[in-house]
Chain A
């Protein structure tokens, strides 16, 4: 079983839509979680960390559910520029485990 699993998508949504991604992790001892954004043929860039209490950064909201071992990312009012692959990451014992990524296409 993979350490981190994500729905690969693609999620095709119109501009202005709200879209949510989920990600599950297998190791209950995982310490920290992150969402990264990766544009085509570029390196991943940190979008936001995920805290147990949930956290929000503008149009982006991240949630962590330790009991069910999943994290989520909610994007409100989608923009064309949000089109990218979103990677879920779990940090565990000095290693970072990446999900395969969820592709988002925001259409005009």
Chain B
């Protein structure tokens, strides 16, 4: 079946540095990818919708200058957490919509644990 790969699975960075997380659709073209954040024992919160070749659409309250999203190809979207701070420590998950399956089938990456120290 369709696979979405996310990398890195775990990352620890120093406060003030930037971290890039990659999300790849391995066997289908993803015109739309989604980025979520999940704090412990909380629900998934949609951060932004990433459309190939255009600017991402951010949800209310998400700083677009802090969470940079690039979706340069149909198989790759990246999320860069700029000037990370300890409160940015969270589980970040991407998902991709399979355009070939009508667009309403969604597959998740394995998630990335970010710890900012």
Contacts and interface: CB of A to CB of B under 8 A. Distances in A.
Interface of A: 31-32, 34, 41-46, 87, 91, 94-101
B28 to A, nearest CB: 15
A87 B109 CA distance: 16
Contacts of B42: 100
A31 B106 CA distance: 14
A43 B49 contact: no
B108 A44 contact: yes
A101 B43 CA distance: 7
A96 B95 CA distance: 10
Contact of B108 (A45, A91, A94, A97): A45
Given A44-B108, A45-B108, A99 B43 contact: yes
Contact of A95 (B46, B91, B113): B46
B111 A42 contact: yes
8 contacts: A42-B110, A46-B106, A87-B44, A94-B49, A96-B95, A97-B46, A98-B43, A98-B46
A94 B103 contact: yes
B8 to A, nearest CB: 14
B93 interface: yes
Most A C-beta atoms less than 10 A away, residue of B34, B44, B49, B111: B44
A91 B104 CA distance: 7
Contacts of B106: 34, 46, 91, 96
Top 8 A-B pairs ranked by shortest CB distance?
A100-B43, A43-B108, A98-B44, A43-B111, A32-B104, A91-B104, A43-B110, A43-B93
B34 A96 contact: yes
B32 interface: yes
Nearest to B107: A46
A83 B23 CA distance: 28
Contact of B109 (A41, A43, A99, A100): A43
A39 B110 CA distance: 12
A95 to B, nearest CB: 7
Interface string B84-109: 00000001010101000001101111
